[in-house]
A and B are shown apart, each in its own frame.
Chain A
Amino acid sequence: MGKTEEILNQFHQVSRDVLIPMLQAVQDECGYLSEEAIEKIGSHLSLPASKIYGLATFYNQFRFAPTGKFHIQVCNGSACHLDHSISILKELFKHLGIRDGETTRDGMFSLEVLACIGACGQSPVIAINGVYYPKVKAGMIKDILEITKLKSS
């Protein structure tokens, strides 16, 4: 039995209102929602895949491609925006060679821009795999990436 089936079987209820929790559980486990996983959820809930895509693409949380080993989130909330989060983003573009929503070819880094991660007192903020880096300056990006790379080896 595949991972997706195992997750689906943990849900006792089979109705539309468990669809979002199901998608969340599958994404948590697999890192993203594959076509195959969506098909399986669809047949489990007797819903066409188109309906599930219609729902999943509505929400920012769901991804349809795997993220990198290190997922970098750049906050562009009001406070971070005023503190030049854009210059941090540009620096990341430069060093990683990818735009937001993309993953580097070696699968190491992926980049995402968020509307606000709720740490406005520490602006500007970026998060790598959920770990916050407060009061980041564009000049620090190179070092942060180097250190992160070291962690992987």
Chain B
Amino acid sequence: MVNKTQIRIALRNCGLINPERIEEYISEKGYMALGKVLTEMSQEEAVNIIIDSGLRGRGGAGFPTGIKWDYARKSVSDQKYVVCNADEGDPGAFMDRSILEGDPHSVLEAMAICGYCIGADKGLVYIRAEYPLAIERLNIAITQAREFGLLGDDIMGSGFSFDIEIRYGAGAFVCGEETALIHSMEGERGEPSLKPPFPAESGYLGKPTNVNNVETLANIPVIYLKGADWFSGIGTEKSKGTKVFALAGKVNNVGLIEVPMGTTLREVIYEIGGGIREGKKFKAVQTGGPSGGCLTEKHLDTPIDYDNLIANGSMMGSGGMIVMDEDNCMVSIAKFYLDFTVEESCGKCAPCRIGNKRLNELLGRICEGKGTEADLDRLRNLGEVIKDTSLCGLGQSSPNPVLSTLDNFYDEYISHVRDKKCPSGVCKDLMEYFIIEENCVGCTACARACPVGAITGERKEPHLINPEICIMCGACMEKCKFDAVILK
């Protein structure tokens, strides 16, 4: 996908160099940033460049990376750690995997730079065990970097030593939260803990630890080569640089895109994404995975950055962007995300453990046609309480899919609870089998197949299904050779 609105910073080398050959990375100015930092800058100067660039964490919350580094730098300790968070568990996002598979050295180089800045000599990559190719390439990259003296003792004769080890995540979405990730590396259950103390003071094994996401790290080397001013010249006032999105769902062009912050959803969906598949109508776009919300047509011209997304009830998250068309039911989408959150909640704090379960049950009732209008108020109240009172980012953002669909698609909820109808024809319990008169030839096949005798009609005359008797087994639809039986 080549388009003038895209700028490749984090993905600059992906697909262009052979990720298994360090020489190719070096020929693209690889490890030059590390050399520059080690030979020309003090720790403080190096950190200030990242602060000036305005880079914010790409993992979801958008905390300023330079500030995070500065906290870790100022912590006093004999041992510090740099951790790369590659535990990409967000359904619908795969940019971290692509960076690690396509350009692993950029992440290693950034970790070494971070190590120098904060005074750490050990780096850990916490990566999902489900990404075998990324793990293989990362291992090759680490071995090659050691052979070239770019990792290990006394890098480039500077006296600075840094080495990197890989840890495999065991599959828990909550481990994307930095304190949970650290507990998981320590061999504990991946449950988050209250901050402060922040990992910058007390992290892995109680030592100061700096945790950054893969995409954040991939931005680092270029910032040193091209300068903080260059980087902060891209993007919006408070969100600098670019963001990688995983565009998926009902658009013509799916895949990874990298656009400057401040690009509008319309540009992303219609220009880069090539519009909605099969000429259908755009309905919503879900950003930020299970933590994000659904934005609708009225948000199409909103520039995408951290603050605008939060103001509209969604969030950047890790950058999944799922486009939905008129055939998708927003209530069932909200339930889909809640199913995931309920499954992945670690269970430590009550609002998230119990609250999300209750939210999910309410949504389930609505999808089954047993909901009432009072349930809609309960959904909103409960959602807001969970948001306000949960311990970590997972619980604080998990009601977003529900609250944002309530805000933007209230009419669909009303159809479900008042009219007991699913306008998009997704919620099976709210649908009925129906015979299209024009297609029915009166062959009686359906009536003979019906186990409860719900279908009546004379031979060679259109038949009729009595919804009061129908048990929704679908036998009639299977038997009909004329496509006369439909669900609606």
A20 close to B132 (CB less than 8 A) = no
B170 close to A117 (CB less than 8 A) = no
Across the two chains, which residue of chain B brings its CB closest to A56? B170
Any B CB within 8 A of the CB of A116: yes
Query: Contact mask B332-356 → A, CB, 8 Å, 1/0?
Result: 0000110010011010000000000
Any A CB within 8 A of the CB of B246: yes
Any A CB within 8 A of the CB of B465: no
Across the two chains, which residue of chain A brings its CB closest to B250? A82
> Which residues of A are found within 8 Å of B94, using beta-carbon distances?
118-121
Contact of B190 among A18, A58, A62, A76 (CB under 8 A): A58
Query: Contact mask B308-345 → A, CB, 8 Å, 1/0?
Result: 00000000000010101000100000001100100110
Contact of B92 among A15, A78, A114 (CB under 8 A): A78
Across the two chains, which residue of chain A brings its CB closest to B323? A82
**Residue count of chain A within 8 Å CB distance of chain B:** 32
Shortest distance between the CB of B318 and any CB in chain A (Å): 11
Query: Contact mask A45-83 → B, CB, 8 Å, 1/0?
Result: 000000000110011111000000000000011110110
Any A CB within 8 A of the CB of B66: no
Cα A15 to Cα B185 with chains together (Å): 12
B131 close to A118 (CB less than 8 A) = yes
Cα A130 to Cα B129 with chains together (Å): 12
Across the two chains, which residue of chain A brings its CB closest to B190? A58
Any A CB within 8 A of the CB of B289: yes
Contact of A121 among B173, B189, B254 (CB under 8 A): B254
> Which residues of B are found within 8 Å of A34, using beta-carbon distances?
none
9-residue interface stretch from B57-65, B83-91, B228-236: B83-91
A55 close to B189 (CB less than 8 A) = yes
B91 close to A78 (CB less than 8 A) = yes
B205 close to A118 (CB less than 8 A) = no
Cα A76 to Cα B344 with chains together (Å): 14
B346 close to A115 (CB less than 8 A) = no
Any A CB within 8 A of the CB of B159: no
Task: Take A58-B189, A82-B328 as given contacts and tell me if A130 and B132 are in contact as well, using a CB distance cutoff of 8 Å.
Answer: yes
Contact of B248 among A17, A23, A59, A120 (CB under 8 A): A120
Task: Take A18-B187, A118-B130, A121-B254 as given contacts and tell me if A79 and B168 are in contact as well, using a CB distance cutoff of 8 Å.
Answer: no
B248 close to A79 (CB less than 8 A) = yes
B130 close to A117 (CB less than 8 A) = yes
Shortest distance between the CB of B411 and any CB in chain A (Å): 21
Query: Contact mask A108-125 → B, CB, 8 Å, 1/0?
Result: 000000111111110100
B91 close to A115 (CB less than 8 A) = yes
B188 close to A21 (CB less than 8 A) = no
Contact of B186 among A16, A60, A76, A79 (CB under 8 A): A16
Contact of A58 among B130, B132, B172 (CB under 8 A): B172
Any B CB within 8 A of the CB of A104: no
Contact of B91 among A16, A54, A77, A121 (CB under 8 A): A77
Any A CB within 8 A of the CB of B249: yes
Cα A130 to Cα B132 with chains together (Å): 9
Across the two chains, which residue of chain B brings its CB closest to A117? B130
A78 close to B168 (CB less than 8 A) = no
Any B CB within 8 A of the CB of A141: no
Interface residues of B in 386-404 (CB under 8 A from A): none
Contact of A78 among B132, B184, B185, B320 (CB under 8 A): B320
Q: How large is the interface on B (under 10, 10 to 19, 20 to 34, 35 or more residues)?
A: 35 or more
A24 close to B324 (CB less than 8 A) = no
> Which residues of B are found within 8 Å of A59, using beta-carbon distances?
170-172, 190
Any B CB within 8 A of the CB of A19: yes
Task: Take A18-B187, A120-B246 as given contacts and tell me if A79 and B129 are in contact as well, using a CB distance cutoff of 8 Å.
Answer: no
> Which residues of A are found within 8 Å of B167, using beta-carbon distances?
20-21
B189 close to A79 (CB less than 8 A) = no
Cα A67 to Cα B94 with chains together (Å): 27
Any A CB within 8 A of the CB of B239: no
> Which residues of B are found within 8 Å of A54, using beta-carbon distances?
189
Shortest distance between the CB of B13 and any CB in chain A (Å): 20
A62 close to B92 (CB less than 8 A) = no
Task: Take A16-B188, A78-B286 as given contacts and tell me if A115 and B170 are in contact as well, using a CB distance cutoff of 8 Å.
Answer: no
Task: Take A78-B289, A82-B324, A118-B131 as given contacts and tell me if A60 and B92 are in contact as well, using a CB distance cutoff of 8 Å.
Answer: no
A16 close to B187 (CB less than 8 A) = yes
Any A CB within 8 A of the CB of B255: yes
Any A CB within 8 A of the CB of B97: yes
Contact of A24 among B97, B168, B189, B340 (CB under 8 A): B168
Across the two chains, which residue of chain A brings its CB closest to B173? A115
A20 close to B184 (CB less than 8 A) = yes
Shortest distance between the CB of A117 and any CB in chain B (Å): 6
B168 close to A21 (CB less than 8 A) = yes
Contact of B249 among A21, A60, A78 (CB under 8 A): A78
Cα A30 to Cα B320 with chains together (Å): 35
A78 close to B254 (CB less than 8 A) = no
Query: Contact mask B244-273 → A, CB, 8 Å, 1/0?
Result: 001011100011000000000000000000
Cα A121 to Cα B74 with chains together (Å): 43
Interface residues of B, Cβ cutoff 8 Å to A: 88-94, 97, 129-132, 167-168, 170-173, 184-190, 205, 246, 248-250, 254-255, 286, 289, 320, 322, 324, 328, 336-337, 340, 343-344, 346
Q: A78-B336, A79-B249, A82-B322 are in contact. List 18 more A-B contacts (CB 8 A).
A: A17-B187, A54-B189, A55-B187, A61-B171, A62-B170, A77-B92, A78-B92, A78-B249, A79-B254, A115-B340, A115-B343, A115-B344, A116-B91, A118-B88, A119-B94, A120-B93, A120-B254, A121-B248
Q: Can you list 25 residue pairs at the A/B interface with Cβ under 8 Å?
A: A15-B187, A20-B187, A21-B167, A24-B129, A24-B168, A55-B188, A55-B189, A58-B190, A58-B346, A59-B170, A59-B171, A60-B170, A78-B91, A78-B248, A78-B289, A79-B248, A82-B249, A82-B328, A118-B88, A118-B130, A118-B131, A120-B248, A121-B94, A123-B254, A130-B132
Nearest 5 pairs of A and B residues by beta carbon = A59-B170, A77-B91, A116-B91, A60-B171, A79-B248
